[in-house]
Amino acid sequence: MATLRETAEKYGPLSEAEAEWLALLTADWQIIADLSFADLVMWRKVEDGFVAVAQCRPSTGPTVHQDDVVGTMAAAGRVAHLQRALDEGGITASREPRWDETYAVREDALPIVMDGKPVGVLTREVSQAVSRSSSRLELNYKGAADDLLHMITRGEFPRQMSVTGSRRGAPRVGDGVLRLDAAGHVTYASPNALSCFHRLGVTGSLMNRSLPRVTSELVTDKGHIDETLAMVVMGRAPWRADVEANGATLSLRAIPVTEYGERIGAVLLCRDVSELRRRERELITKDATIREIHHRVKNNLQTVAALLRLQSRRVQAPEAKEALAEAMRRVSTIALVHETLSGTLDELVNFDDLAGRSMRMAAEVASPGVQVKLLREGDFGLIPAQYASSLALVMTELVTNAVEHGFEGREHGIITVTAERTDESRLRVVIADDGKGLSAEPSGLGSQIVRTLVENELGGEIVWRRTETGSAVDVHVQVGE
């Protein structure tokens, strides 16, 4: 799907600043469409007239355009109206409704201004198929929309610092709308907005009351007030804030209304997000619990490794010492994975860092008298936590095997680890050394552990082979669904 900039640039060059301005407008114009109960269409002027480059349908009323109009040229009868909006520089109403199939459409056009220069035309199109008298809510919604549209003609909307992201719980027009004057007094509150504040503990009407004072009286825990809340309820800044009281949580978003740079009021959107915030807190608690479990498992495994180390010091038989050392190394590798998981909320592990640490530890423990140079090529990428322990053990065993058997009788050696993602779910790893090479496929406990993990836990295959400079192991494993 083409971006707004890609679509717009098909019909002429667009500067970086203009593209950003238009993208910022389309990121926030759903509010205007909903307040207007109307479709919005963005037009660019071209040699043959005007072409539509973006559109927005209302969620509060019927749409005019059943089909997308992006990429279509304005009809010849509409060109003069669009050009008049550019020439006059304000909101221009069509002299007569136009007919689309069986119903009439009333259309307003206005220039999209940035830094005093028009960069496009915006049309607000309302179907006349449904005839009804405007309610108080509709009159206030349309009045708020007109305020924002006038700001577009002066280059005062959208706001560069406005919060337009899709953060969970973002309030929408249907959730509740308030209009404020310059002093923060409520000049209108929609029924849904009034219901939201009643849940916070407000009694009676909000009309003509100071919203900052009302909010301040509701919040009893002054130590946990959102620092931006005062600016939002005054309508001074285009920010978002949450307010909590009486077990309810409201998400508020302010859109200051300005006239030639002077703030004359604000439109405030509100939404009851009590249940959403409660679930988020539960998830945070669960995440913290999971991290704590990983941390405790890591500590317990490190204790087991320390006990194995103490036990190995008391054992005289070389085979027993070696067996305890191998067990200690494997436990330490699993502990390293849990240490990594305890520091993240994600179920994905950055395996490049984990692999580097586990392989260095394996090389140092396997043969302290050999100086091993570890080389890395390619990236492992992000590995799901369910595969991390098995893959880390495989890497540790293979590096250990290369050090112990490939470099026997030598003072130094090189191990090269090459990682390659063959697709999103498959990983190929090659561990090569410049040692004496393989005489036969390994059959010890370590190789048995590796084969079992690769084939049974990681759904892959493993092949040992001799090379011109030593030996190599090819591992193909599944690291995703």
Domain of 90: which CATH number? 3.30.450.280
Q: What burial class does residue 209 get, using C-beta atoms within 10 Å of its C-beta: 0-12 exposed, 13-18 middle, 19+ buried?
A: middle
How far apart are the C-alpha atoms of 17 and 29, rounded to whole Å?
A: 18
Least confident segment among 171-185, 382-396, 430-444: 430-444
Same domain, residue pair 368 and 448 = yes
> Domain check: are 366 and 476 in the same one?
yes
Q: Do residue 22 and residue 65 come from a single domain?
A: yes
- Domain residues for the domain of 231 are 173-272
Q: Peptide bond before 368: cis, by omega within 30 degrees of 0? A: no
- The whole-angstrom separation of Cα 305 and Cα 263 is 67
Contact 465, 472 (CB under 8 A): yes
461 φ/ψ angles, rounded to the nearest 5 degrees: -145, 160
The pLDDT, as a whole number, for residue 236 is: 93
> Given the structure tokens 């109307």, which residue do they identify?
38
CATH code, domain with 266: 3.30.450.20
* Report for 119-133, 134-148, 222-236: range of highest mean pLDDT: 134-148
Looking at the structure of the chain, the number of domains it has is 4
Q: Is the model's pLDDT at 101 over the cut of 90?
A: no
**Is residue 340 a part of any domain in this protein?**
yes
429 touches 418 (CB < 8 A):
yes
Is 161 a domain residue?
no
3-state secondary structure (DSSP) of residue 389: helix
Q: Which of residues 311, 345, 379 is at a domain's end?
A: 345
In a domain? residue 409: yes
pTM confidence score: 0.66
3-state secondary structure of 435: coil
Please give the residue that has the higher pLDDT: either 148 or 435. 148
Instruction: Using the predicted structure, report yes or no on whether residue 424 has a pLDDT greater than 70.
Output: yes
In the numeric block, which tokens belong to residue 95? 């002299």
Is residue 285 classed as helix, strand or coil in its secondary structure? Answer: helix
Q: What is the mean pLDDT of the chain?
A: 85
For residue 374, is it within any domain?
yes
| Residues in Cβ contact with 116 at an 8 Å cutoff, skipping those fewer than 6 apart | 155
> What's the CATH code of the domain at 416?
3.30.565.10
Task: Please indicate, yes or no, whether residues 293 and 357 belong to a single structural domain of this protein.
Answer: no
Q: Tell me, what's the pLDDT at 32?
A: 97
- pLDDT tens column, 437-447: 776 677 777 78
Cβ(154)–Cβ(113) under 8 Å? yes
Beta-bridged to residue 110, according to DSSP, are 122
| pLDDT reported for residue 400 | 81
- Same-domain check for residues 263 and 203: yes
Q: Is position 249 within any domain?
A: yes
Pair (305, 262) in one structural domain: no
Distance of CA 172 to the CA centre of its chain: 19
List the single range of 51-60, 162-171, 403-412, 463-472 with lowest mean pLDDT. 162-171
Q: Is 90 exceeded by the pLDDT of residue 367?
A: no
pLDDT tens, position by position, 392-402: 888 888 888 88
Structure confidence by residue, pLDDT tens digits, 319-347? 887 778 777 777 877 777 777 777 666 67
Q: pLDDT value at position 233? A: 94
Q: Strand 177-181 relative to strand 186-189: parallel, antiparallel, unpaired?
A: antiparallel
Confirm whether 160 is domain-assigned.
no
pLDDT at residue 201 greater than cutoff 60: yes
> Is residue 40 domain-shared with residue 81, that is, in the same domain?
yes
Residues 335, 351, single domain; the answer is no
Among residues 309, 330, 345, the one where a domain terminates is: 345
Q: What is the pLDDT of residue 401?
A: 80
Q: Which residues contact 281 (CB under 8 A, 6 or more apart)?
A: none
- Short-list 200, 222, 227, 223, CA closest to 211: 200
What is the tens place of the pLDDT at every residue in 269-315? 999 998 888 887 777 777 777 777 777 777 877 888 788 878 888 78
Per-residue pLDDT, averaged over 129-136, amounts to 70
Query: What does 27-64 look like in DSSP terms, one character per residue?
Result: HHHHHHHHHHTSEEEEEEEETTEEEEEEEE--SSS--S
Structure tokens at 328: 């200690």
Note the pLDDT of residue 226: 66
Q: What is the pLDDT of residue 41?
A: 97
Task: Please give the biggest Cα pair distance in the chain.
Answer: 102
Q: Where are the beta strands (DSSP E) in 101-227?
A: 103-114, 117-127, 177-181, 186-189
* Torsion from C-alpha of 269, 273, 274, 277, nearest 10 degrees: -130
Tokens (6 digits) for 232? 């939002």
Averaged pLDDT for residues 65-93: 92
User: What are the beta bridge partners of residue 255?
Assistant: 267
- Report whether pLDDT(118) > 70: yes
Assess whether 334 and 254 both reside in one domain: no
Residue 168 falls inside a structural domain = no
Boundary residue ending a domain (329, 345, 361): 345
Residues 332 and 225 in one domain: no
284 and 214 together in one domain:
no
* C-alpha span between 53 and 72 (Å, rounded): 8
Q: How far is CA 381 from CA 204, 392, 418, 458, in A?
A: 57, 13, 12, 16
Cα 334 from Cα 340, distance rounded (Å): 10
Residues 126 and 189 in one domain: no
Say what the pLDDT of residue 356 is.
81
Could you tell me the pLDDT band of residue 163, with boundaries at 50, 70 and 90? low
Q: Is residue 457 in a domain?
A: yes
pLDDT at position 157 over 80: yes
pLDDT of residue 442: 76
